[in-house]
Amino acid sequence: MTNKIVNSPAARISSLADSFKDVLKCGQQYVELLDQLASTDQAEDLLTAASKLTEQDLHNAFIDFPQHYQAADYYMLFMGRLLEMHQVASVTVDENQQHEFVATIDPLTDARFKFVVGANGEAAFTEQSQQQPLFYMNLNQRLFQFNNRALVNYFIVYALKKHSDLELRDAIKSLIEFANELADDLGFTINLGILNTANDRRFKLQQPDLRLTMIDRLFVKTGETDYMLMNLPHNSGAELLLDQGIKFDLSFDPDDYSQEWAFSVKDPGEQVSFFDILLHYNLVRQWYLADRDALAVRSEQLIITDDESTSPVATTVPAAPTEPTEPFPAPADQVTEPASAVRDSEKTPTDNGDVVDTETDEDD
Amino acid sequence: MASKNQDSKAVDVSQEIEGRIATKVKYLQELNYAIDQHHDRDVYRLLDNQRYAKEIEHREQQPNDEGVMSLVDDLADQLSSYLSVNLIKYLGKTYPFFYYEEYQTGHYRIYFGNWWDRRRFGELDVLNVRFSFDQTEYQMLNKSFELARKNKRYNSDRINKISSENDRLQELIDHRREREEKRQQIQAELKDINSRSGLFESSRNRATREELVTQLQKLEDQETEARTAAQTIKENEQVVLALSKENTILSYEQKSIIDTFGSFEDFELANRNLYANYLKSLSADQDAGKQVNADD
């Protein structure tokens, strides 16, 4: 019976017409979303448009839509528009010859940034010449996270050869502003990683043990400077006294038997991050980069969960820095417990589709 | 009369005893009062009258009455602990880089600084208001000040020597291939020469052969050394780190002394005058009716 109906010419034409209608409706929606992305002055509407556009599939058998953009471009447009709403002029988004949206950040004249979209719906803001993913965001989950290792690789190791520390600080500032706008306007959960300036923020080391000769090396380096490396109470680590009351600690909690070593930065105004110390202080930078294997900060997970299913999908994000005890604070049913997150993600695909071993996935 | 003489003698003796006891009681009462009121300056005067007279009142030859002073000999540790409170408070301001650890009642170890690694520097003699520096450590600091005048650091020479030794060892490791090529070349030459040796070997041939054998031996010696060189370099680097650390500790110490006193000489001068300066600071407090540590 059904076969007969479908095979009848009238039914076939009607079915084809329906398909066209769907596609045209889809096209109409697409155009409306583009309008919304381009012209809304509401952050929520902007997010909705960008989020839908990154998921919309215009490919179909019936109609060839003209040249359109990729998901990565919508992420970039979203970023550009949100910054524009806040009058942040230092990030410029432009279309290149391949119709891709590319960002430049003042005053880094030579660098180009593009979003690279991963399999789990997270977009990595990636510097093109060094291929360093500086941060990740996921619009549906409203998550944002800086990549510590990439920040060090790109800014501290690479860009500092061409730019002054003050120029790099300005460039980073606009990225932090973007993260804060996501948090303030759209309730994103953001993780600033080593850019966090809170005094109580601690970055645990990747290696379980720290040879004290590592601290000896920093101590010896201070001999030629005006800075002094002090001993912390109960021999729980060392504290470098820097300018204007800034203290840079490498220490463990003496009350915690596990004695996990961690970096922290304390300053009177809570305005200085671990990254700032690496950026501004030659002494610390040289010491850190010379023994980066021993001093690298522990890898942490960006947990992206599937809204629809109860089984969480853990995505390994190299250098995603959260305390193992505090992954993104999301609703309880979306949070993967840290322990199981590590187990689940021991062999999980990265955004490149590569299988990586989380244990070796160390970051800064 | 003998008995009268004896009586008067007995009276003299008992008077003498009473006099002596009265002096002792008076001493103990004074000390007791000074302790009670925390008049540390008076305590110091009572414990060493001779020094007090000389250094504070500038009266020479005022002998100590050992008979009364020895009364509190067995309280030395407790008195030291008692007097340390104000003294260490004073030293905290005047010698901000010294730290003290009371390892038993009235006995204080001195630590120089609170930095990543620091030295034990002797003991604080509270009763005599004096640093009793560990002479080995003190001489190191003294020497490092002398060297600083020549822009040198305490372990610079040793560090330079070990560093150039490491450079030499690294060369040995780097030139392994060249050495092997050279060795093969010499062996080939030796083979060639050996074929021409024998009973009637020319003296020139023999000399060349011996020279080649010597060269070969030298190459093999170098090769043997190169095999353990990487390990030796590592060990040397550890030694250099330890020596550099010692340099750094000394530079922190120098910096602290210069920041506080201006020079090592002024530091030593302050040490010599510590008793007088400290007691004068107590006098000023007492005169102003603001004895340190008073309970007001």
Q: Cβ B252–A223 below 8 Å, yes or no?
A: yes
DSSP one-letter code for A124: E
Q: What is the pLDDT at residue A329?
A: 38
Residues B243-273: tens digit of each pLDDT: 999 999 999 999 999 999 999 999 999 999 9
Q: Cβ B248–A215 below 8 Å, yes or no?
A: no
The overall average pLDDT reported for chain A is: 80
Please tell me which residue, A199 or B4, carries the higher pLDDT value.
Answer: A199
Sort out which chain A residues have CB atoms less than 8 A from B247's CB and list them: 220, 223
The answer, yes or no, to whether residue A124 has pLDDT greater than 90, is: yes
Lowest mean pLDDT among A23-32, A148-157, A259-268, A326-335: A326-335
Residues B197-230: tens digit of each pLDDT: 666 667 777 788 888 889 989 999 998 888 899 9
d(CA B183, CA A190): 65
Residues A31-74: tens digit of each pLDDT: 888 888 888 888 888 888 888 888 876 666 666 666 678 888 99
Give yes or no for a contact between B84 and B102, defined as CB atoms under 8 angstroms apart: yes
Residues A95-104: tens digit of each pLDDT: 888 888 999 9
Q: Cβ B248–A219 below 8 Å, yes or no?
A: yes
Q: Burial of A224 by CB count in 10 Å (0-12 exposed, 13-18 middle, 19+ buried)?
A: exposed
How confident is residue A338, by pLDDT bands cut at 50, 70 and 90?
very low
Q: Cβ A219–B245 below 8 Å, yes or no?
A: yes
Sort out which chain B residues have CB atoms less than 8 A from A230's CB and list them: 114-116
Q: What is the pLDDT at residue A326?
A: 35
d(CA B118, CA B110): 11
Q: What is the pLDDT at residue A65?
A: 67
Q: What is the pLDDT at residue A4?
A: 54
Left, alpha or beta for B219 (phi > 0: left; psi -120 to 50: alpha)? alpha
- Reported ipTM: the value is 0.81
Give residue A313's Cα distance to chain centre: 18
- Closest to A238 measured CA to CA, from A271, A269, A261, A204: A261
Sort out which chain A residues have CB atoms less than 8 A from B156's CB and list them: none
The overall average pLDDT reported for chain B is: 88
Please tell me which residue, B212 or B83, carries the higher pLDDT value.
Answer: B83
3-state SS, residue A135: strand
Q: What is the pLDDT at residue A68?
A: 73
Residue of B nearest to A223 (CA): B248
Q: Work out the percent of chain A whose per-residue pLDDT is above 70.
A: 77
3-state SS, residue A100: coil
Sort out which chain A residues have CB atoms less than 8 A from B245's CB and list them: 216, 219-220
- Cβ contacts below 8 Å, chain A against chain B, sum to 38
How confident is residue A344, by pLDDT bands cut at 50, 70 and 90?
very low
Sort out which chain B residues have CB atoms less than 8 A from A227's CB and list them: none
Q: What is the pLDDT at residue A5?
A: 55
How confident is residue A135, by pLDDT bands cut at 50, 70 and 90?
very high
Please tell me which residue, A197 or B11, carries the higher pLDDT value.
Answer: A197
The answer, yes or no, to whether residue B104 has pLDDT greater than 60, is: yes
Q: What is the pLDDT at residue A301?
A: 55
Residue of B nearest to A215 (CA): B116
Q: What is the pLDDT at residue B4?
A: 61
Please tell me which residue, B76 or A362, carries the higher pLDDT value.
Answer: B76
Considering CB atoms only, which of B238, B247, B252 is closest to A228?
B252
The answer, yes or no, to whether residue A239 has pLDDT greater than 60, is: yes
The answer, yes or no, to whether residue A324 has pLDDT greater than 50, is: no
Fold type of domain A207-295: TATA-Binding Protein (3.30.310)
Chain A segment 214-273 residues within 8 A of B by beta carbon are 215-220, 222-223, 228-231, 238
DSSP letter string over B201-242? --HHHHHHHHHHHHHHHHHHHHHHHHHHHHHHHHHHHHHHHH
